[in-house]
Amino acid sequence: MKIVIARSGGFCWGVKRAVNMAIEATKEKGIVYSLGELIHNPQEIKRLENLGIKKINSVDEIIPETTVIIRSHGVPPKTIKALKEKNVKIIDATCPFVKAIQDKAVSLEKEHFPVCILGNSKHPEVIGIAGHVRDPFILETKEDVEKIPEMPKLGVVCQTTLNSEFLSLATSILVHKIKEIKIYNTICKATKVRQEEARKLAQEVDLMIIIGGKNSSNTTKLYLISKKVNKNSYHIESADEIKEEWFDNIKSVGITAGASTPQWIIEEVVGRVETISKRGQAVERGFCKTT
Ligand code: SF4
């Protein structure tokens, strides 16, 4: 049996940076509070908790004069203001790519373009971007896009993990409704590469495993992309979710992981697949050649 591992899978640059910043801060401060989960991966969150990185759900829970890390998703300006009022030390781990989208939204507004964000309205990154401008449109589905009224101007930015197919679809609808439209494709390169590789790998293998938190937006999108071209696609958080019967009559397995999945979980999953596939078969482990 052949196991093909996506080269792009696992921590992206921005997540790695945020985790390293938090770990470094614990060395000096002991405990560091993360406003919301530092990353969307329950197993890694548990490991980080043991290192002193504690999750808090809202600014109200913050103990004054402690240290708070802002995760890679970023936050609205009103949250920064509230943190400053609590007199805490702020470590801002907002991914620079997300910061660039916040800045683009602000400059669109300054140019008198109503701002539209393509993405999930409940996702912290989108909430953070939306908080930088007044009453943006947030469009998540084709139906949302179709409901947008005709108007003279619109400025569009995207959630970094948006499915590129949705961006194309939304653009094709909006250009017929808006006289002057500015569209920034702000899908992060890390996302684009992961999605393209997952799509290609899923077409080439008999079974796909996508590893990452069930609450991780980018992992869920990888799973949906894979499922569309390969019905034998499974989204798991850890190795113990893998079932032996998945591998009956399977000759090749593709493995990829979301941007918030640590390497140690990927290794555990690969190890478990290797163990299962060794039932009387030779195992060939390789890396996807698409990147
Ligand atoms: S996916 Fe892209 S934007 Fe998001 S944290 Fe990673 S590098 Fe930054």
At residue 291, the pLDDT reads 39
Beta-bridge partner residues of 138: 117
Q: Is 116 in the pocket of ligand 1 (CB under 6 A)?
A: no
Q: Is 12 in the pocket of ligand 1 (CB under 6 A)?
A: yes
Pocket test for ligand 1, best of 19, 37, 75, 98 (most atoms within 8 A of CB): 98
Q: Under a CB-based contact definition with an 8 Å cutoff, are residues 245 and 220 in contact?
A: no
What H or E segment, with its residue span, contains residue 51? none
Joined together, the tokens standing for residue 19 give 């985790």
**Residue 16 contacts by C-beta under 8 Å, 6 or more apart in sequence?**
none
Backbone phi and psi for residue 122, each to the nearest 5 degrees, phi listed first: -95, -5
At residue 64, the pLDDT reads 87
Output the CA 126–ligand 1 centroid distance in Å. Answer: 13
- How far apart (Å, rounded) are the C-alpha atoms in residues 216 and 193? 17
Matching residue, tokens 């893998």: 242
| DSSP 8-class letter at 123 | S
Query: Residues 266, 272, 274, CA angle at the centre, nearest 5°?
Result: 100
Closest-CA residue, ligand 1 atom 6, reads 14
At residue 110, the pLDDT reads 98
Q: Which atom of ligand 1 is nearest to the CA of 189?
A: 2
Catalytic (active site) residue 125: yes
Output the CA 89–ligand 1 centroid distance in Å. Answer: 24
Strand order, beta sheet including 32-35: 53-56, 32-35, 67-70, 89-92
Output the CA 112–ligand 1 centroid distance in Å. Answer: 28
Q: Is 41 in the pocket of ligand 1 (CB under 6 A)?
A: no
Joined together, the tokens standing for residue 257 give 């992981």
Q: Say whether 158 counts as a known binding-site residue.
A: no
Q: Is 13 in the pocket of ligand 1 (CB under 6 A)?
A: yes
- How far apart (Å, rounded) are the C-alpha atoms in residues 15 and 85? 27
- How far apart (Å, rounded) are the C-alpha atoms in residues 62 and 217? 26
- How far apart (Å, rounded) are the C-alpha atoms in residues 122 and 238? 25
At residue 281, the pLDDT reads 57
| DSSP 8-class letter at 12 | -
C-alpha pair distances (Å), 247 with each of 50, 226, 229, 251, 256: 35, 17, 18, 8, 17
At residue 284, the pLDDT reads 58
Catalytic hit among 65, 85, 111, 125: 125
Domains, in order of start, for the chain:
2-10+190-287 (3.40.1010.20), 13-94 (3.40.50.11270), 97-187 (3.40.1010.20)
At residue 247, the pLDDT reads 93
Q: Is 202 in the pocket of ligand 1 (CB under 6 A)?
A: no
Q: Is 99 in the pocket of ligand 1 (CB under 6 A)?
A: no
| DSSP 8-class letter at 60 | G
Output the CA 17–ligand 1 centroid distance in Å. Answer: 10
Q: What is the pLDDT along the chain (291 residues), one digit of tens a residue?
A: 899 999 999 999 999 999 999 999 999 888 999 999 998 888 899 999 999 999 999 989 988 889 999 999 999 999 999 999 999 999 999 999 999 999 999 999 999 999 999 999 999 999 999 999 999 999 999 999 999 999 999 999 999 989 889 999 999 999 999 999 999 999 999 988 999 999 999 999 999 999 999 988 889 999 999 999 999 999 999 999 999 999 999 999 999 999 999 999 999 999 999 998 876 455 555 666 543
Backbone phi and psi for residue 124, each to the nearest 5 degrees, phi listed first: -55, -35
- How far apart (Å, rounded) are the C-alpha atoms in residues 169 and 53? 40
- How far apart (Å, rounded) are the C-alpha atoms in residues 58 and 145? 31
Closest-CA residue, ligand 1 atom 7, reads 14
